[in-house]
Structure 1
Amino acid sequence: MTIGAPVLDAGPSGNKGTQSVVEDVLHPNSDSSATLEVGKTALLTLAADAIIVTDEGLRSKSQRRCCSFPIPQSSGTLTTRSIPYTNILWAEVSHDYITIEYAHQVTNTDVALRSVYFPVSLEQKSKAETWTEKLLDLAYGKAQRQKRIKVLINPFGGKGRAAKYYYKHVKPIFAAAKCRVDAELTNYRGHAVDIVEKLDVDAYDVIATCSGDGIPYEVFNGLAKKPNASEALRKIAVANLPCGSGNAMSWNLNGTGSASLAALWIVKGLRTPLDLVSITQGDKRTVSFLSQSFGIVAESDLGTENIRWMGQARFTYGFLVRLFGKTVYPCDLAVKVELDNKEQIKDHYRAGSERKSFEQLRGEESSDCVGLPPLRYGTVNDPLPEGWTLVPHDKLGNFYAGNMAYMAADANFFPTALPNDGCMDLITINGDISRRTALQMLMAVDNGTLFDMPEVNVRKVTAYRIIPRDRKDGYISIDGERVPFEPFQAEVHRGLGTVLSRSGYRYETIGLK
């Protein structure tokens, strides 16, 4: 019997069709313990991908209740429904009832908490408890149950609605999954850095940010400032509940821009090592998890803050303004290249993205460190590393280094990016290309074909140094945050960070076309 909406028919990970459900009921799991009789009218069956609920239909309007539990009013109609394991948050036997809580798909992009209750007799109780534990094993697989989550809410995110999103859409899902949650508001720029630097990482499994991509950037840098930075970055996973103007982290790891769906995927998320990038600029060292840009992308993003009211359209507007001006961004560039052939890069990506096993990959450089790993290539202030050559780029239009695939919901700039291959994907494009070609590139970002355009130079790199020239000021973006218009150097640390992902080894992208 149910409270609220009917049992889920389709989940975010997809569900079996009606015919498959019927076949599961007619030919259930041969293990007799997979089926549980509850009450006088219902069967609960553990099928391949879902619970199959077979019950007589209920007259919800005439439903009576006793001690807060519903009493079934049978309509005599046999119904068969399913709840995908993916959506199961918790199940338990308490008193005389078995309770199953799950995320119900209410729209194409959102889920909401629902519960089903069934009466369990004293004779059934032991079997019901065993069945419930099997259900939780199937629902969680390799994912950790009852995660301890520190939630950081940016009250200014999502046009000021981040806190509302959290309490309405996220908190109920975490509570149903029996997660232990400690939520806190951030009050100023850099507050998350201060909070996380002082945080006891042994007290939490996850730091989840209710924000855009800015607060995850602060979280990684707060962990990086700890005396035991490498240990802290390995121990605690960083996750994002998308509530900002830029939600790239959630699109890459959760495959969604919905806070409620992201909450479900954090509950079910698998710990995944993530490459982090050390950035040295002046006498400062920070870490980057998403991207670094100089040129038209940085200007189109950071240079359009005054028209943020336009939403994502402001980026396109800024891009077109600079495109028609054929703006160039002179610089000197030295790069430590690992792969510079597009076919080899594709092969590298396919090998990494087809790895099905759950692996906890860690780079050797971080495993024995206490603080941050040492810099193999020094800082931007040191002499150029041996074997590096500083090459002038007088007509550079765009320099874009990515550690993830999506930079926005519809911007798959780096389709060959992998979470922990030890490389950044670097795109460079000249600024003197024709306006027609540049417009084609803009459309190619949307349809995922930018990679194959001959004017787009793509490389897998492990480090680089970039020195802007011929202008006093401009825009450099690190993870969407503006930094000084000065030379900087970047270096990858393989698997230094930890995130939660759906697969445990790849991003939620369409890959190469």
Structure 2
Amino acid sequence: DACSVPISEIITVEEADTHGKHHSSGKWQKMEKPFAFTVHCVQRARRHRWKWAQVTFCCAEEPLCHLWLHTLQELLGKLASRPKHLLVFINPFGGKGHGKRIYERKVAPLFTLASITTEVIVTERANQAKESLYEINIDKYDGIVCVGGDGMFSEVLHGLIGRTQRNAGVDQNQPRAALVPSPVRIGIIPAGSTDCVCFSTVGTNDAETSALHIIVGDSLPMDVSSVHHSGTLLRYSVSLLGYGFYGDIIRDSERKRWMGLLRYDFSGVKTFFSHHCYEGTVSFLPARHTVGSPRDRKPCRAGCFVCRQSKQQLEEEQKRSLYGLENTEEMEEWKVVCGKFLAINATNMSCACPRSPRGLSPAAHLGDGSSDLILIRKCSRFNFLRFLVRHTNQYDQFDFAFVEVYRVKKFQFLSKHVEDEDSDLKERGKMRFGPMCTDAPPCCCAASNSSWNCDGEILSSSSIEVR
């Protein structure tokens, strides 16, 4: 109903100016009645955007006006999910370097309107936010807001997860360790180059929209993958783990930071024409608990049925495993895929962004306890271009003979040209899966490794274990 506003989408209510005029929607308007109150609320716009709107209600009598005002304020006070005090980290260097200005002009006024108090930290160096979260008292905050791109979100995420595991006595270097979830929520104000996490969760990379979602207390669970190598935690991933094409792009772009944001386009074109493929073995455990599939064309949306059902099935599966009612991990049915790959991608979300509105895996889900593993085998440069172009339109990018996609709970990758330090992981792989194609005679593939792109950061090892 265009004439109604849900209580959950009201920002605040206040008594209007009773001196004959009221400022509403940027215009001075003559008031017909002397008693009035203004409702500040969310107005839904096109393409998932939210806008701040104001509606003024006039009353014939002052008691009626006060009754409305107090009733609405009382109802808003009962919304326990809304934050009252937030810690804000601003990355002034990410994207186009507009993070501080975006926060001050678009976000801070809305937080003030909603009576949200904030403590703002403008970061001066990499990992400052992560280190701060290990030291400060986060119990006094209702949430943490990061103003920046995917890198800033990842930094805050690592700080929160690391602190929570430290306090709970969990060894993060143990791949099978059950991580303790943090009760603190993270909000994102997009101010980066791609803003993939924000676009995939909110549906747009608009700062005002994100601020309004934070104000009304919207939240959703997100899957996080741990990435290990030889019993050591490398990083956590929430969006993309990419080897081959996306790994080469990020590695090459790091050497060209002087180019600014153009470095990603330049490195992308260069990597495409280089057309390197990499030989290796991917072993994975299919996600049998999930009710969806990577090609079912059912995107993750608010109140997602797939995420709810998958979470229930995963919890039941974990309980059965805990009480020994099912086989242990060593007995689970792992699948093995060998070959030469142009790219190996694992996504915990669609990875949508303005350039690719549907993302790398359009039907990936935010909270179903699984990742979509996408394998792009060696093919012609023309066919690979066709695959890339489909990320920008409505066609199925998985509908190629050289592309395979699986929904998985865990996976490992062993490069054909494993370094000496990777021998431990390789031996464990042989014990678990038996003979592998990495033991086959060498073929014509170039003797080199790519790098893993983990949410925009380069990993030091090519052989990894992900869960």
The TM-score, its normalising length taken from structure 1, stands at: 0.66
Provide the residue aligned with 1:292 in structure 2: 241
Query: Structure 1 residues 166, 117: closer, same or farther in 2, change over 3 A?
Result: same
1:483 alignment counterpart: 459
Q: Give the match for residue 128 of structure 1.
A: 68
Q: Percent same amino acid at aligned positions? A: 23
1:200 deviates by: 3.2
Q: Cα RMSD between the aligned structures?
A: 4.4
Q: Which residue of 1 aligns with 2:360?
A: 413
The letter for the 2-side match of 1:73 is K
C-alpha deviation, 1:252, in angstroms: 0.9
1:266 matched to 2:214? The reply is: yes
- Corresponding residue number in structure 1 for 2:349: 404
| Structure 2 letter corresponding to 1:127 | L
1:311 to partner: Cα distance: 6.9
The residue matched to 2:96 in structure 1 has which SS?
helix
The 2-side partners of 1:207 and 1:475 are apart by 31
**Partner of 1:452: helix, strand, or coil?**
coil
Residues in 2 aligned to 1:237 and 1:155: alpha-carbon distance in whole angstroms: 22
Residues 112, 169 of structure 1: 8 Å contact kept: no
Aligned twin of 1:30:
none
2:245–2:343: 8 Å Cα contact kept in structure 1?
yes
1:57-72 aligned at under 5 Å gives the runs none
Q: Does 1:332 align with 2:272?
A: no
Q: Secondary structure at the match of 2:62?
A: coil
Q: Does the Cα contact within 8 Å between 2:242 and 2:454 map onto a contact in 1?
A: yes
Report the counterpart of residue 198 of structure 1 in structure 2: 135
- Report the equivalent of 2:181: 233
Shift of 1:195: 1.5
| Cα distance per residue 1:148-201 (max 9 Å; x no partner) | 322111121232211111111111112212223222122221112112223434
Shift of 1:250: 0.7
Contact 2:239/2:351 (CA < 8 Å) preserved in 1?
no
On the 8 A contact 2:451/2:462 being kept in 1, the answer is no
Q: Aligned pair in 2 of structure 1 residues 150, 261: CA closer, same or farther (>3 Å)?
A: same
User: Alpha-carbon deviation of 1:290?
Assistant: 1.4
Which of the numbers 253, 257, 270 marks the counterpart of 1:321? 270
1:430-489 residue CA offsets vs partner (Å, 9 max, x unmatched): 13x122211111110111421333321100011111123435664211111111033211
1:437 aligns with 2:383: yes
Structure 2's unaligned 5+ residue stretches are 11-18, 169-177, 320-326, 418-446
Q: Which moved more, 1:146-155 or 1:238-247?
A: 146-155
Distance in 2 of aligned mates of 1:385 and 1:326? 38
> SS in structure 1 opposite 2:193?
coil
Between the two proteins, the alignment pairs up a number of residues equal to: 402
| 1:71-86 aligned within 5 A | 73=30
SS at match of 1:408: coil
Q: Distance in 2 between matches of 1:181 and 1:168?
A: 15
- Give how far 1:135 is off: 7.5
Distance (Å, rounded) in 1 between the aligned partners of 2:455 and 2:8: 38
In structure 2, the partner of 1:8 is none
Q: Residue 351 of structure 1: CA displacement?
A: 9.7
State the SS of the aligned residue for 2:39: strand
**Retained in 2: the 8 A contact 1:149–1:208?**
yes
Query: Any idea what SS the aligned residue of 1:178 has?
Result: coil
Partners of 1:357 and 1:439 in 2: CA distance: 32
Per-residue deviation, 1:209: 0.7
Q: Could you tell me which residue of structure 2 aligns to residue 372 of structure 1?
A: none
Q: Does the C-alpha gap of structure 1 residues 299 and 148 become closer, same or farther in structure 2, counting only changes over 3 Å?
A: same
Matched letter for residue 210 of structure 1:
V
Alignment-mate amino acid for residue 139 of structure 2 = D
Q: Report the secondary structure of 2:281's partner residue.
A: strand
Tell me the TM-score normalised to structure 2 length.
0.72
Task: Name the counterpart of 1:155.
Answer: 92
Distance, in Å, in 2 between the alignment partners of 1:122 and 1:231 is: 56
- How much has 1:292 moved relative to structure 2? 0.8
> Residues of 2 paired with 1:366 and 1:103: CA distance?
40
Q: 1:316 to 1:154 in 2, by over 3 A?
A: closer
Are the aligned partners of 1:295 and 1:328 in contact in 2 as well (CA < 8 Å)? yes
Correspondence 1:458-497 to 2 at 5 A: 458-470=405-417, 471=447, 474-491=450-467
Contact 2:83 2:142 in 1 (8 A): no
Contact map agreement 2:146 2:152 (CA 8 A) in 1: yes
Whether the 8 Å CA contact 2:38–2:55 is kept in 1: the answer is yes
Closer, same or farther: CA 489–115 of 1 in aligned 2, 3 Å:
same
Query: Structure 1 residue 100 and structure 2 residue 21: aligned?
Result: no
From the superposition, tell whether residues 124 and 482 of structure 1 become closer, same or farther in structure 2 (CA, over 3 Å).
Answer: same
Cα contact 1:113–1:172 (8 A) shared by 2: no
Cα deviation for residue 263 of structure 1 reads 1.0
CA separation of 1:475 and 1:392: change in aligned 2, threshold 3 A: same
Contact 1:162 1:210 in 2 (8 A): yes
Aligned to 1:218: 155
SS at match of 1:409: coil
2:392 alignment partner in structure 1: 446
Q: CA deviation at 1:242?
A: 0.6
CA 102–466 in structure 1, closer or farther in 2 if over 3 Å, else same: same
Distance 1:47 1:194 in 2: 40
Contact preservation (8 Å) 2:83, 2:217: no
Unaligned runs of 5+ in 1: 1-15, 25-44, 52-61, 77-94, 369-375, 379-383, 492-513
Q: Is the 8 A contact 1:220 1:233 kept in 2?
A: no
In the alignment, structure 1 residue 179 sits paired with structure 2 residue 116: yes
Please give the alpha-carbon distance, in whole angstroms, between the structure 2 residues aligned to 1:73 and 1:459.
Answer: 62
Q: Is the contact made by 1:153 and 1:186 (CA closer than 8 Å) also made in structure 2?
A: yes
Tell me, what secondary structure is at the counterpart of 1:189? Answer: coil
Give the partner amino acid of 2:86.
I
1:281 aligns with 2:204: no
Q: CA deviation at 1:399?
A: 0.4
Q: After the TM superposition, which of the residue ranges 247-256 and 442-451 deviates more from structure 2?
A: 442-451
Shift of 1:220: 1.8
